[in-house]
Amino acid sequence: MNYRHTFHAGSAADVFKHVILVALIKALLRKDTAFLYLETHAGTGRYDLLSDASQKNKEFEEGIQKIVHAMHPPALIQDYLTCVNSLNQPDALRYYPGSPWFAHYFLRTEDRMVLAEWHPEEIIPLKKLFADDKRVGIHHQDGYQGLKAFLPPKERRGLVLIDPPYEKKDELMSLPALLGETIKRFETGVYAIWYPIKTSAQNKLFREALQAAIKRPFLITELCVHSDDVAGRLNGSGMVIINPPWQIDQQMESFLPWLWNVLTINRQGYFKSTGYNQT
């Protein structure tokens, strides 16, 4: 499978993922001490919604396009939209930020960003995007290897985003064990792992594997815009947050209902956030 995120840029799954990313970064900004943002599958960092790839399925129409036209967005959604708007002309939506752009938007002088990307066609525009910023290190390598190479960070604080394309058949179910080992290298870090929801049965197995492998507190947040019992399509997505920042669960409650109401298709699907306080 030759995965290119540009086909899915600005989709409902992207919106969900990036709103949570903004919440996590803002939580880290509450403290003055520096932190590292590490992303294992960074992509290009920015996507043109008028490109042939984005126009093929126009997934952004069921995601960011709904958000920009929705009424009364919560405060966190407004922060998210401010970042989106930073790439676009007023009242025009052409470019959608990738996760690196969202992180970089909020980065302070003392913070660092390390991005790993393996796809040869993705790494070139990614390097160009951040070429003039010495706070950003970009590495053409397998993202999972980056978890070993760049952790623990010298700052002793950090956010790790793991957002793979899940090209390999067993990739999702292999993640809990990998996370269990990674956390041993950097126990106090915040980890955010995006995952697809295609069937409720697979989703249940994944949660059980996480509970068995992760011995730190974690939060599972999910948003489905379709019914989750139809195999063969992306019905929604979830985010595992290991070592969730203080009050992040309350923040979820403040924006998830609004987000689902805007993004759901024919009132299908659900949203929920569940904490697991394992030690």
Known catalytic residues are 163
Q: 3-state SS of the chain: helix, strand, coil percent to 5? A: 40, 20, 40
**What's phi and psi for 3, nearest 5 deg?**
-85, 130
Q: Are 235 and 224 a contacting pair, CB within 8 Å?
A: yes
Cα 260-225-14 angle, rounded to 5 deg? 80
Residue-by-residue DSSP string for 105-138: HH--TT-EEEEE---HHHHHHHHHHTTT-TTEEE
Closest of 105, 119, 132 to residue 37, by C-alpha: 105
Strand partners, 276: 218
271 bridge partner residues: 223
Contact 60, 49 (CB under 8 A): yes
Q: What is the largest CA-CA distance in the chain?
A: 48
State whether residue 39 is helix, strand or coil.
strand
